[in-house]
A = this chain, B = another copy of it.
């Protein structure tokens, strides 16, 4: 097993014999000297091949091995004038040849967000993962997920894995991806909510982080067909509670990313968006939102329509912090969410719109706990005769209590925090519409 990483080597005293396993990130030649940049997951170091030191054969090998190949290098660790270290190489051994060469080279330095090469980067995602900026984004993803889990653990939420295959779509069937499993017609989950609702009556505070699927034919920068969804439910709470809870999570996540993400951010060459620290977030009503869109000539959205991604992006520029849209119409929202007792046209849902034009970040809601209201809403959505929702009804007839929920796409959160153009960059292998994984 490899025990000596590049970062360990850089920490050693100079004038020591070292050997190192890694990949050739780059090669330059200046006269009779060859410079190889050797990298691994921890960083990179320069190995210098001078014919006088390495001998002719090793020098020729260093000249010839294609970049991106895996190698073992040995030599002396020396200190340069500027205090940095390099390896005066004696030997090089090929471990794995890179006889497949693609352009740009994965480990080279290029703009990973350049739309002109987006197709190439997606086709060879399995190799471009090695790019240090792409690696940094995926490290950030892991950091964020870990921080969110910490928040949940500290607040006594139990991790609860809802099923992926489910008989119950959240929205209408057209955006649900159907699967046939041994004669059983099911869907890929659109939302863990039905299962968390059952479980919250046991555990009171639960969350789920797992894959979720939306079959929409959207090519927006905010949509993936397969994404990771953070969902949480809490028993005995109202909308103010869930709004407060979400603001807490965003503050905690932003703060901790600031503390622990410095190296990652500098590798990506971006700054963390800290707009989420400005709590409490402003609130506007859905009616204010459509009025704003109409007054400024952005759209002619009418009450009762879903706001489009483009409209949300416009709204997103109204404030320099995230903000809530409350009072979203019942026609827009799926059946599980409560109706506002003071205005039967609207729900107790609120959507959080990110700053900087990033659009919707997440939604929160009071969920229905009264079985009669559930029946009414199922009927309104044309689902009351469907036996597959029976288990949802059961939960409402078995000691149901006021409960609240939120749901947030991991990739949207990452995109917003990192100021990156597209959610597809925030997941290892993005599934975007009509775009296979692989070449």
Contacts and interface: CB of A to CB of B under 8 A. Distances in A.
Contact of A390 (B177, B396, B438): B438
A392 B428 CA distance: 15
Interface string A70-105: 100000000000000000000000011111100000
A434 B106 CA distance: 46
A108 interface: no
Interface stretch (A202-210, A285-293, A341-349): A202-210
Contacts of A40: 204
A290 B403 CA distance: 55
Contact of A210 (B160, B211, B388, B394): B211
A182 interface: yes
A236 interface: yes
B428 A165 contact: no
A96 B369 contact: yes
A276 B398 CA distance: 41
Given A23-B399, A138-B158, A195-B428, 17 more contacts: A68-B398, A96-B398, A96-B401, A126-B198, A126-B395, A129-B198, A129-B199, A129-B201, A135-B203, A138-B203, A160-B428, A161-B428, A164-B226, A167-B438, A182-B433, A184-B434, A211-B211
Contact of A95 (B130, B181, B401): B401
Interface of A: 1-2, 5, 21, 23-24, 40-41, 68-70, 95-100, 106, 124, 126-127, 129-130, 134-135, 138-139, 141-142, 145-146, 149, 153, 158-167, 177-184, 188, 195, 198-199, 201-205, 210-211, 213, 215, 217, 225-226, 228, 234-238, 241, 369, 388, 390-391, 394-402, 427-429, 431, 433-434, 436-439
A179 B182 contact: no
Contacts of A177: 179, 181
Nearest to A131: B202
Contacts of A201: 23, 70, 129-130
15 contacts: A2-B237, A41-B205, A70-B201, A95-B401, A96-B400, A138-B203, A142-B160, A146-B159, A161-B427, A164-B226, A184-B434, A184-B436, A390-B439, A391-B437, A394-B439
A68 B395 CA distance: 11
Which 8 residue pairs across A and B have the least CB separation, nearest first? A2-B236, A100-B397, A391-B438, A126-B198, A96-B400, A41-B204, A70-B399, A1-B241
Contacts of A217: 182
Contacts of A130: 201-202
